[in-house]
Amino acid sequence: MSNPPHGGVLKDLIARDLPRHAELEAEAETLPALLLSERQLCDLELILNGGFSPLEGFMNQEDYNGVVKENRLASGLLFSMPITLDVSEETISELGLKAGARITLRDFRDDRNLAILTVDDVYKPDKALEAKEVFGGDEEHPAVKFLYETTKEYYVGGKLEAVNKLQHYDFVDLRYSPAEIRTHFDKLGWSRVVAFQTRNPMHRAHRELTVRAARSHHANVLIHPVVGLTKPGDIDHFTRVRVYKALLPRYPNGMAVLGLLPLAMRMGGPREAIWHAIIRKNHGATHFIVGRDHAGPGKNSKGVDFYGPYDAQYAVEKYRDELGIEVVPFQMMTYLPDSDEYAPVDQIPKGVRTLNISGTELRARLRSGREIPEWFSYPEVVKVLRESHPPRSQQGFTVLFTGYPNSGKDQIARALQVTLNQQGGRSVSLFLGENIRHELSSELGYNREDRDKNIARIAFVASELTRSGAAVIAAPIAPFEKARQNARELVEKYGDFYLVHVATPLEYCEKTDKRGIYAKARAGEIENFTGVNDPYETPAKPDLVVDCEKQSVRSIVHQIILLLESQGLLDRF
């Protein structure tokens, strides 16, 4: 038998409402509909499948106030995280949201009807209070930023009736609802289960920690990673799940199960730890590991920790009697090279040597292709990480040339393409100003708005190619600083971006113009011609400045190659 759910009854609304499916589906089609955001969908999924039991819907004002102020629902039951459905004033009037109204909640990805909400109340939350009480109030806290920047001004409370499950297309076999995982535990004959929450890849330390927890509590292990929303910048869940799958065979046979949790984390430290424990209890776990700085977002920009390292552990300890799931506090595990074992940091005798690789160090090693030792992680785990974090020599990048017409940027761009092709190892895409005007921007002219659009399109394509590991060489005029800066920001999400200012003087560009295009512009036959009757903004922070009047194309290309080499992009293994 698994642990009873929070409040005693698993609120599996999908199972409850299945007998009325046809009727509810028909009604859902007739009601005003609200398209849910990604975060709202995560919350909805866990309300519908009972992961948030005893909730049967989004919180009304009474529940919300109780949870914000004292971690309690109106019934008095412990609950630490506000689960609310936010809407704007326009949506309230568009959908006619008022007590008693019924609306359909839809999935924005496929327009499927997921649930019908019967409105209990519509209320305006005190965001400052929520920010302070629930998350600690620091304006840089990701959940506080989300609250102020993304969350709408009103909340709608009300119970839900389930119409359809959310559709998932990734790792479907590993997604267990609470009822499914409980059945699975029963099948395996597990009655004591210690759940492990994670939003990071797992290495040897995590395997040791979970096995120790299992050993000391005579339990089996549920590896229960979050695959909904985690902290921005985290390793994507596709990579992480492949890591967990690779790690699983390293557990003694039959000891551990991997199940994915579609939770939208808030990074709420102590509040979140209580919430996580309740969710795991609903999934049938009897024990829950709470580590150092559990669900904490780290430090703010001043280097101050959002939470103390053990705040989460104190919080769960405070409610231990009513949580109904035993919390297993854990210290960080550290490697002891002399005995080739892992031990909790607080149990290491003075003078014993320890080794550790921080997350930052790990990322640096992945980037450079440097060794990741077996004492830290398993080769099969490292292999998965390396596949999604290729070394610099296999990462994509973009070189954007900017300069006057006939500045020589096209010749340099072509020569650079040939040089990179000679080196091999990457696909190289070349976008000359005129090709792009022909293929991608044929309807655009040369006023500022159109030029900005042209550069934005080049940047979009360049960013996608950079993401997939290609080298992109683009050579538009790109006369405006803002558009160049936007291009940089977009590409840098996925790889390196280098701006090369081809600063050949205008007179020289004009003098050597064999196409006669400057002459036409001077004769008034071309409007908005850069350098003649349209401005060129000199780049404020180019990565390189070159000049075709003074330098040969060959020497300029060599300079660029040296720049790329210095950044590790041309290394060979």
Ligand X SMILES: Nc1ncnc2c1ncn2[C@@H]1O[C@H](COP(=O)(O)OS(=O)(=O)O)[C@@H](OP(=O)(O)O)[C@H]1O
Q: Is 220 annotated as a binding residue?
A: no
Under rule CB under 6 A, how many of the chain's residues touch ligand X?
A: 20
For 22, 183, 285, 463, 466, the CA distances from 188, given in Å and listed in that order, are 34, 9, 14, 47, 46
CA distance 367 to 395: 9
Nearest CB to ligand X, comparing residues 239 and 411: 411
Nearest CB to ligand X, comparing residues 155 and 518: 518
Q: Is 128 annotated as a binding residue?
A: no
Q: How far is the CB of 446 from ligand X (least distance, A)?
A: 4
The catalytic position among 113, 151, 198, 230 is: 198
Alpha helices for 172-310 (secondary structure H): 178-188, 204-216, 237-247, 269-282
The CB density around residue 94, as the number of other CB atoms within 10 Å, is: 12
Nearest CB to ligand X, comparing residues 205 and 526: 526
Q: How far is the CB of 390 from ligand X (least distance, A)?
A: 31
Q: How far is the CB of 481 from ligand X (least distance, A)?
A: 12
Site for ligand X in 517-536 (CB under 6 A): 517, 526, 528-530, 534
Q: How far is the CB of 517 from ligand X (least distance, A)?
A: 5
Site for ligand X in 533-552 (CB under 6 A): 534
Contact between residue 12 and residue 179 where contact means Cβ atoms under 8 Å apart: yes
Residues 6+ apart with CB under 8 A from 121: 60, 61, 99, 156, 157, 158
Of 476, 495, 539, 542, which lies in the binding site for ligand X, with binding defined by CB under 6 A? 476
Q: Is 200 annotated as a binding residue?
A: yes
Q: Does residue 478 interact with ligand X by CB under 6 A? A: yes
Of 131, 222, 474, 477, which lies in the binding site for ligand X, with binding defined by CB under 6 A? 477
Provide the Cα torsion 475, 478, 483, 487; round to 10°. Answer: 10
For 3, 42, 186, 257, 485, the CA distances from 223, given in Å and listed in that order, are 16, 19, 17, 6, 43
Q: Does residue 510 interact with ligand X by CB under 6 A? A: no
Examine the residue annotation and report whether 363 is marked as an active-site residue of this protein. no
Q: How far is the CB of 498 from ligand X (least distance, A)?
A: 17
Examine the residue annotation and report whether 239 is marked as an active-site residue of this protein. no
Half-sphere exposure of 531 (CA within 13 A, CB side): 23
Look at the chain and count its residues.
573
Nearest CB to ligand X, comparing residues 171 and 446: 446
DSSP state of 286: S
Of 184, 414, 437, 520, which lies in the binding site for ligand X, with binding defined by CB under 6 A? 437
Region of 11-19, 310-318, 381-389, 430-438 interacting with ligand X (CB under 6 A): 430-438
The catalytic position among 175, 182, 199, 365 is: 199
CA distance 289 to 301: 29
CA distance 225 to 195: 10
Q: Which residue is nearest to ligand X (CB)?
A: 433
Nearest CB to ligand X, comparing residues 37 and 528: 528
Nearest CB to ligand X, comparing residues 459 and 478: 478
Which of 178, 173, 216 is CA-nearest to residue 194? Answer: 216
The CB density around residue 249, as the number of other CB atoms within 10 Å, is: 10
**CA–centroid distance for 117 within its chain:** 29
Q: Is 20 annotated as a binding residue?
A: no
Of 228, 259, 324, 433, which lies in the binding site for ligand X, with binding defined by CB under 6 A? 433
Residue type, 287: H
For 28, 370, 466, the CA distances from 573, given in Å and listed in that order, are 59, 11, 21
CA distance 354 to 336: 5
Of 446, 460, 508, 536, which lies in the binding site for ligand X, with binding defined by CB under 6 A? 446
**CA–centroid distance for 437 within its chain:** 34
Q: How far is the CB of 137 from ligand X (least distance, A)?
A: 46
Which x/- pattern, by CB under 6 A, does the window 397-416 give for ligand X? --------x----x------
Half-sphere exposure of 211 (CA within 13 A, CB side): 19
Q: Does residue 451 interact with ligand X by CB under 6 A? A: yes
Calculate ∠ Cα 195-200-202, nearest 5°: 70
Region of 292-300, 364-372, 447-455, 539-547 interacting with ligand X (CB under 6 A): 447-455
Nearest CB to ligand X, comparing residues 410 and 496: 410
Q: Is 291 annotated as a binding residue?
A: yes
Q: Does residue 454 interact with ligand X by CB under 6 A? A: yes
Q: Is 198 annotated as a binding residue?
A: yes
- Tell me the two tokens of residue 185: 């535990």
Q: How far is the CB of 569 from ligand X (least distance, A)?
A: 25
CA distance 8 to 174: 26
Q: How far is the CB of 441 from ligand X (least distance, A)?
A: 7
Which of 262, 285, 293 is CA-nearest to residue 196? Answer: 285
Q: How far is the CB of 531 from ligand X (least distance, A)?
A: 8
Q: Is 7 annotated as a binding residue?
A: no
Examine the residue annotation and report whether 356 is marked as an active-site residue of this protein. no
CA distance 217 to 192: 8
Q: Annotated binding site, which residues?
A: 197-200, 291-295, 333, 434-437, 515
Q: Which stretches of the chain bind ligand X, using CB under 6 A? A: 405, 410, 433-434, 436-437, 446, 451, 454-455, 476-479, 517, 526, 528-530, 534
Q: Annotated binding site for 3'-phosphoadenylyl sulfate, which residues?
A: 434-437, 515
Q: Annotated binding site for ATP, which residues?
A: 197-200, 291-294, 333
Q: Annotated binding site for sulfate, which residues?
A: 197, 199, 295
Q: Which residues are catalytic?
A: 198-200
